[in-house]
Amino acid sequence: MSKILDRYKFLAVVLVLISGLAPLSGVYADSLTPHEEARLYTLADLKPADYSPKTVIVEVYAVPIPEMQGFIGMLAPAWAEVQQFYARLGVNVIRTAGTARPGPVAPTEHFRVEALPHKEWLDRSCKAFKVPPPFRLSFMTVCRNKYAFAHLPLSVIHFSFKRFEEAVFTKGPGAGGLNQHILANLFIHELGHLMGLYHAHEFKNDPIEEMLPDGKTPNFMSHFLTYKGELGFVPLQKQIIHSYLSKGQVFEQYRRVDFDPVRYLELVKQYNGYMETAKGDKQEEY
């Protein structure tokens, strides 16, 4: 079996192994000829994007329990960093207060972040990945080093604040500001997935590198989320985001596979001649 393309593919393959479910290839929304499919998924031939300013609504909901007070306290300054970053990409990310009942979430328009107790995060992640109850223990093992999932088909990010705090937060004098910055970096990264982007480490011969050409600035779709400075991006990522948010070619790529990131990456790999990063080359994930 080929190496995982990203965390979604990793989970999908594990679920196939433990549950005997059919692989995630198969019949999707509608059919294309091989030539049409190749033209659609060749990233070097993306149609010019509409770079007019875009606006995305993100409702943020935190379960009202004491352990979420730290998250609530850091949310406003962290979100200011999120807005500043996406302003550089020409996207206005507006935060609204969420309630227990989700608003009208929709691809390209209205996203939702749910900050949850760890147990509830696991439960909702199981439901989002459609893990049958008998296999949830195995799923929990898969998730032991995870604390956030961006579910593109749902336009939702599930986030375990407690697990994030335990795994990532620094301690000591001045740690509060850095913690807010790391939280901002996490949101910046996960929102990138909801705007059509894949991880910077997926392929070793695509134009999206983990580090920018200056050799010191991490790409925001890498896993260097504890970087103290400002994350960066490459032109292709801006083009992908605007093509997706304007319902252009990238949006059509995802629509054709029912917004399944696993199938999307398989087709991107196939039609662009990309090679997966060797296991030894992959950086540690945060």
Structure confidence at residue 103 (pLDDT): 92
Phi-psi region of 71 (alpha: psi -120 to 50; beta: other; left: phi over 0): alpha
Q: What is the mean pLDDT of the chain?
A: 86
Does the pLDDT at position 60 exceed 60?
yes
Structure confidence at residue 145 (pLDDT): 81
Mean pLDDT (whole number) for 221-231 = 93
Mean pLDDT (whole number) for 50-55 = 98
Does the pLDDT at position 214 exceed 70?
yes
More confident: 213 or 26: 213
Least confident range of 42-46, 59-63, 140-144? 140-144
* CA-CA-CA-CA torsion sign (61, 167, 83, 257): negative
Mean pLDDT (whole number) for 68-81 = 95
Mean pLDDT (whole number) for 39-54 = 96
Structure confidence at residue 165 (pLDDT): 87
Distance CA 223, CA 200 (A): 8
The residue ranges of every structural domain in the chain are: 7-281
Distance CA 84, CA 64 (A): 27
Distance CA 139, CA 16 (A): 11
Does the pLDDT at position 12 exceed 70?
no
Does the pLDDT at position 207 exceed 70?
yes
Q: What is the pTM of this model?
A: 0.87
- Kindly state the percentage of the chain with pLDDT values over 90: 72
Mean pLDDT (whole number) for 271-277 = 93
* CA-CA-CA-CA torsion sign (96, 100, 104, 107): positive
Does the pLDDT at position 2 exceed 50?
no
